[in-house]
Structure 1
Amino acid sequence: MSKKLFLFVLNFISLVAFGQKHANTNLQSLGNPVNTLENSEFAPTISADGNTLIFESDKGGRWRLYMSSQVQPGVWSKPIDIAAINNVVGPNDFLGGPCLSYDGSTLFFTSNMKGGMGGIDIWYSKRTGNNWSAPKNLGKPVNSAGYDGFPSLSPDGKILYFMRAGEKNTSTGQRCCKLFTATRQGAFFINPVPLPYPINTGCEGYPRIMADGKTLIYSSYKPEGKGGYDLYESKLKYGKWTKPVPLDFINTSKDDELISVPASGDVIYLSSTSSNNKDDIYKVELPGEFRPEKVISVEGFIKDEETNKPIASTIQLNNFKTKEKVSEVTNDSLTGKFQVYIEEGKTYDFSISSKGHTFHSEVLKPDSVKRYQKFEKNIKLKPLKKNTSFVLNNIFFEFDSASLSTTSFFELDRVVDLMKANKTLVVEISAHTDDKGSDDYNNKLSQNRAESVVRYLKSKGIIAERLVARGFGKTMPAVPNDSDENRAKNRRVEFKILKI
């Protein structure tokens, strides 16, 4: 089966010359070494940070996936063949539609390679360091015996968008599809359902969900369009999708379909036909009215404090107000790198855990931002050893009281999980105050607070013999009590391992 039949004729903007701007738009070729005169470069997917590009090319007479890195603005490295995927897909099998997850750990693609559900399926490969795993089929119920492809994963990793073929054809004979979503449950995606009207109107395809998780760009074949498939954008507001708006700044009379947008939301990457009738990869600025909402990337590296080596970890974000889990991802176990996304104006409980180590936690409350921003957080976790101690950052008490605030439950439940996973741990829970107030008052308050924490842990099944409550009042300040900020640091609860 031909590439054009599978991809529904993905040639959509006529270009004047290789490596030059489009005459009627601001399309800018990525140039060499990404684009070549001899071959087609097609269906790009860009990483969240805009520095990794994965695309298809027909070098050697068959379609394979390649990866290039932006070594400096506008300069791309020589593309590398992703052999772990390409060498598994048969020479006559279809391979298309790569889509990189926002955390950069998973590459989804579409293929009818051996081992699938019987038709065109969604497959994926996991990245560890610079290596990609052998492809795995996403399985049922996302994949069916028919056509299921061109996936796009939401930034929190919870929702998979994809297209599934129907029975209807366009006036030019192309098979129409519907857009579907499936919800993550553990390692699987379940309950595929079609997106509602006004998204699905009869002939849709090639969804791309933006980094805000609310802006969807996709293709649709509509009578009122410019001709063929056109690109449209819809936003999720208050649980409903807005009326799709055509991206007429790049829509043409031909088929306009596959695009990719980095987390910055300011540029579109796409493939288009050059003057030698080959596909090349281009970029174009995304007008302000089409840009997704601003997001903030929290990224960094997680390492063992003693060895300074990367460790496999789990990163979790919870909405501090609603208690809802926003996302849970793992880092790259070889490099330690992680990346999650948060919105301005919201407060998050942010935590990192790793087997055999203490955990890290803090409250994230990003200020208003004018554009996409990155916040770097490099975290070191302590191995679980006798006398290891760390501050329980997210423990909060009512003012001048030993009563725990409900916002402390995230942190306390992490302690419960840690002790249940390490059943021989005996720990000291110590509470500390600043220097305001009398010694007797602070000693009593700190002891009551430590005991309050211990009571909560016991209520969750941790036996009393494993818990010691100590109140140290103001006798062990972490920093000098010479400012409000430092006094706040001294009002703390600590976790110390007495026996392991």
Structure 2
Amino acid sequence: INTPGDEQTPFIHADNQTLYFSSDGLPGYGNQDLFVVRRGADGQWGTPENLGYPINTIDEESALAIASDAVTAYYASDRPDGLGGMDIYSFDMRPSMQPARTLWLQGRVYDAKTSAGLPSTIALIDLKSGIEASRLQTDETGQYLVTLPIGKDYVLNVNRKGYLFYSDQFLLREKASDSTYRKDIPLQPIEVNASVVLRNIFFDVKQYELRPESRVELDRLVQFLRDNPTVRIQIEGHTDNVGKPADNQKLSELRARAVMQYLNQKAIKNERVTAKGFGETQPVAPNTTEGGRAQNRRTEVKIVAK
């Protein structure tokens, strides 16, 4: 992006992946031109693209900003048809210039026992690539607000010292842009018998091999255990009631063991982790609907010593 010339007036869109700026060091029409560059799924910036004529001219164009509709743009130019010096212009961006459409996520992080707001760190991770899309700090009362590009599914992780980490998933691939969603997040203090559902652990139907997208969640669990070296946990597997009870019991045991083995491979000692399956015996929702059965198919972490 940077050259021996001048790069100025950066504007990063709310999608957190589209950057607009001016430069007189990149190939252009003369003086300062406007460019766009995008961050790829690997987290690396691509090659800057000149926004072209008639936006850029032989004179100076800079200070581009984009309205919330992601189409209307404003910028400054000293082209000869102005009133003198730098004037403000607007135009509708063609699709190839436009940033990703976004939606809003807001909520509050709080102590699950006292309901007191908790200043915390929130990370949103692209479920497919494992790349962190956004990281933010809540305010002192635990309130947060973040924008996310549509068309992707995200893992949400919340961390605060002294508490179990929290995870959830936001399946936004099919959601409409410019919508607002609310997610209030209870954090469990680290204490014996406190538990959390690992909502981003994935298995194929009737299988116990961890799917690749589970790594994001599992690595958060690994980091939690490294940050709290005296904590010991039990991995608990659960199923719905579809199939034979004995088969479900065995499957839940194998799935819990698969998570434990992943932790062992990451140098978490065997004596800190146990695995136990409960089959279909501890449902958290009725098994009469697909939604209920999905809730019952889960992997939990329980603190057994701190």
Which residues in structure 2 correspond to 1:111-130 (within 5 Å)? none
The counterpart of 1:489, out of the listed 277, 283, 295, is 295
C-alpha displacement of 1:424:
1.2
What's 2:209 paired with? Answer: 403
Give the partner amino acid of 1:463: K
The C-alpha deviation readout for 1:130-180, integer Å capped at 9, x for no partner, is xxxxxxxxxxxx9x9x998755343255676555799xxxxxxxxx65557
C-alpha displacement of 1:182:
9.8
Instruction: State the superposition RMSD in angstroms.
Output: 3.4
Q: 2:126 and 2:203 mapped to 1: Cα distance? A: 19
Gaps of 5+ in 1: 1-141, 167-175, 185-190, 243-291
Q: 2:95 and 2:160 mapped to 1: Cα distance? A: 35
The counterpart of 1:221, out of the listed 78, 93, 115, is 78
The counterpart of 2:90, out of the listed 211, 223, 231, is 231
The counterpart of 1:319, out of the listed 113, 116, 126, is 126
Percent identity for Structure 1 against Structure 2: 34
The answer to whether 1:307 aligns with 2:110 is: no
What's 1:205 paired with? Answer: 62
Q: Which is higher, the Rg of structure 1 or of structure 2?
A: 1
Q: 1:399 and 1:348 mapped to 2: Cα distance? A: 22
What's 2:167 paired with? Answer: 361
Q: How many residues align?
A: 287
- Tell me the secondary structure at the aligned position of residue 279 of structure 2: coil
- Tell me the secondary structure at the aligned position of residue 448 of structure 1: helix
The answer to whether 1:458 aligns with 2:264 is: yes
TM-score (norm 1): 0.51
Q: 1:181 and 1:421 mapped to 2: Cα distance? A: 40
C-alpha displacement of 1:329:
1.8
Q: 2:70 and 2:198 mapped to 1: Cα distance? A: 31
CA contact (8 A) 1:320 1:347 kept: yes
Flag the 1:373–1:183 CA change in 2: closer, same or farther, 3 A: closer
Flag the 1:217–1:493 CA change in 2: closer, same or farther, 3 A: same
- Tell me the secondary structure at the aligned position of residue 50 of structure 2: coil
C-alpha displacement of 1:361:
2.1
What's 1:436 paired with? Answer: 242
C-alpha displacement of 1:381:
0.9
C-alpha displacement of 1:210:
5.0
Q: 1:472 and 1:211 mapped to 2: Cα distance? A: 49
What's 2:282 paired with? Answer: 476
Give the partner amino acid of 1:221: D
TM-score (norm 2): 0.79
Give the partner amino acid of 2:169: V
What's 1:47 paired with? Answer: none
What's 1:330 paired with? Answer: 137
Flag the 1:214–1:488 CA change in 2: closer, same or farther, 3 A: same
CA contact (8 A) 2:65 2:75 kept: yes
CA contact (8 A) 2:231 2:303 kept: yes
| Bigger relative contact order, structure 1 or 2 (CA pairs below 8 A, ≥6 apart) | 2
The C-alpha deviation readout for 1:406-454, integer Å capped at 9, x for no partner, is 1211111111111111111110001011122223211111111000011
Flag the 1:337–1:163 CA change in 2: closer, same or farther, 3 A: farther
CA contact (8 A) 2:73 2:90 kept: no
What's 2:194 paired with? Answer: 388
Q: 2:123 and 2:229 mapped to 1: Cα distance? A: 23
